[in-house]
Amino acid sequence: MIKRPLFRREDFRLCEVPVPQGYPQSQTHSGIAFFKGDYYLTSSPYPNKHRTRWEMYYLIALRKLSFGLLNYVKDGEIYENPCLYRGVFFHKGDIPTKFEPIADNPLIKTPVSLNGLPAYNSDPDIYIENGVFYILNRTLFRTKKLSAGGYESKTCISILRGVLENGRFIINETKQVKEWNNPYTSPCLTRFNGKIVFCYMDSNSAIDSETFNGLFLQITDSVEDLTPDNKCFKKVKVNAGDMLPWHMSLFQTEGKLFTIIACVKRGDPTRKVWQMFGEFSTDLSELTIYSTPLTDFNSYRGSACVNDDGVFVLYSTTVWEKIKGSNSVDGRDIIVAHMPFTTLLNEIRNLR
């Protein structure tokens, strides 16, 4: 049984995060960075119709009868491109609920297909250092259609390095840091104890509620030193009970590295995604995911930071939820809640 969440539903406020012109309203994959008193948000629109069980049965049958030629591709993929926003303050000390887009959203467009098969972006993340913005993007290329349905694919992780000038994001460099023949997910980046930490996951848990093959990280002196060499990645021991990680983000405070990690309960047929709180060991060899969820909103990727006042600020996401005031076409929104970090840490450790 899932424990009562740390945050109540009424603790959250809906965020106003406009999509690029011509996009249906939908936001997911939230990433937050707190830098010199400002909040910067990355996200990706993903307007995707929630199909009924009978519609899904029809699509599966169509795929089988056509021997995979008429395979189902999700509606929102062409819009799933990384966007960047800056929080709007109405009063000093506000936690932003309104975000203004930079002039260049989306930062990159839908990728060109390979072999005529659709490709898409996803899983943006943000890290800021000395005024330089590092925006991560995951691109999935379908490389071959399988006779039984589905696709072979490869995944590329890139980092857009740039600065904000007059409301525009000026990209100085695009660095590819990893390429796999697997759909690995949720890359994230930060600096911890003077070192750059880059993570990704091998997980299919939100699809089948069974598969999580590991969390991997690489530690380097700088972003420029990151390498795609598999030998440079280390597998982290994950203590998660019956929860299976799906997507994650990183934040640090008080000399510790933490994660907001979206998880699925093993074997859950609904495949509901919960936002959980995780704490790394000092040497980053082990991750403990606490058993008390942060929220019971059905979620995707959430993220958090601790501001200059020691307040933990959680930007979570919703999937197929009905939030009052929302204009989302599919129940995908970004919401925010907060509490003093010392309070959160004491409560979640005591409820373990």
Q: What is the DSSP letter of 89?
A: P
Q: Of 197, 247, 189, whose CA–CA distance to 218 is shortest? A: 197
Q: Structural domain boundaries of the chain?
A: 11-350
CA distances from 340 to 88, 168, 306, 312 (A): 21, 33, 9, 6
pLDDT of res. 76: 87
Strands across the sheet with 273-280, in order? 185-192, 195-203, 212-220, 234-239, 286-289, 273-280, 256-265, 243-253
Look at the alpha carbons of 271, 27, 6, 254 in this order and tell me if their dihedral is positive or negative: positive
The number of CA neighbours under 13 Å toward the Cβ of 264 is: 20
Q: Of 314, 307, 310, whose CA–CA distance to 293 is shortest? A: 314
Residue 57 backbone phi and psi in degrees, to 5 = -60, -40
- Token pair in block for residue 278: 């995780």
SS3 5: coil
pLDDT of res. 2: 78
Instruction: Give the strand pairing for 99-101 and 185-192.
Output: unpaired
Instruction: Give the strand pairing for 286-289 and 234-239.
Output: parallel
Q: pTM of the full predicted structure?
A: 0.92
Tell me: pLDDT of 304 over 70.
yes
Q: What is the percentage of the chain residues whose pLDDT exceeds 70?
A: 91
Instruction: Give the strand pairing for 311-317 and 195-203.
Output: unpaired
Q: What is the DSSP letter of 150?
A: S
Amino acid letter, 116? G
Residues paired with residue 334 on neighbouring β-strands, in sequence order: 317
Tell me: pLDDT of 1 over 60.
yes
Q: Of 20, 15, 18, whose CA–CA distance to 106 is shortest? A: 20
Q: Of 101, 83, 127, 109, whose CA–CA distance to 16 is shortest? A: 101
**What's the mean pLDDT when you consider all of the chain?**
91
How many residues are recorded in the chain?
A: 352
Confidence grade of residue 180 (pLDDT, cut at 50, 70, 90): confident
Tell me: pLDDT of 308 over 80.
yes
Residues paired with residue 162 on neighbouring β-strands, in sequence order: 133, 171
Model pLDDT for residues 55-65, shown as the tens digit of each residue: 544 444 545 55
Find the radius of gyration of the CA atoms of the chain. Answer: 19
Cα-based angle 134, 240, 231 (whole degrees, multiple of 5): 50
Arithmetic mean of pLDDT, 299-305: 96
Topology classification of domain 11-350: Tachylectin-2; Chain A (2.115.10)
CA distances from 246 to 25, 107, 330 (A): 24, 25, 20
Q: Which of 72-86, 247-261, 268-282, 320-334 has the lowest mean pLDDT?
A: 72-86
pLDDT of res. 116: 84
Model pLDDT for residues 21-50, shown as the tens digit of each residue: 999 999 999 999 999 999 999 999 999 866
Which of 116-120, 226-230, 307-311 has maximum average pLDDT? 307-311
Amino acid letter, 135? I
CA distances from 51 to 38, 57, 59, 214, 267 (A): 38, 10, 10, 30, 22
Strands across the sheet with 13-14, in order? 13-14, 334-340, 311-317, 303-306
pLDDT of res. 70: 44
SS3 249: strand
Look at the alpha carbons of 99, 103, 107, 113 in this order and tell me if their dihedral is positive or negative: positive
Instruction: Give the strand pairing for 303-306 and 119-129.
Output: unpaired
The total of other beta-carbon atoms located within 10 Å of residue 110's CB is: 16
Tell me: pLDDT of 71 over 60.
no
Give the position of tokens 């997507």: 247
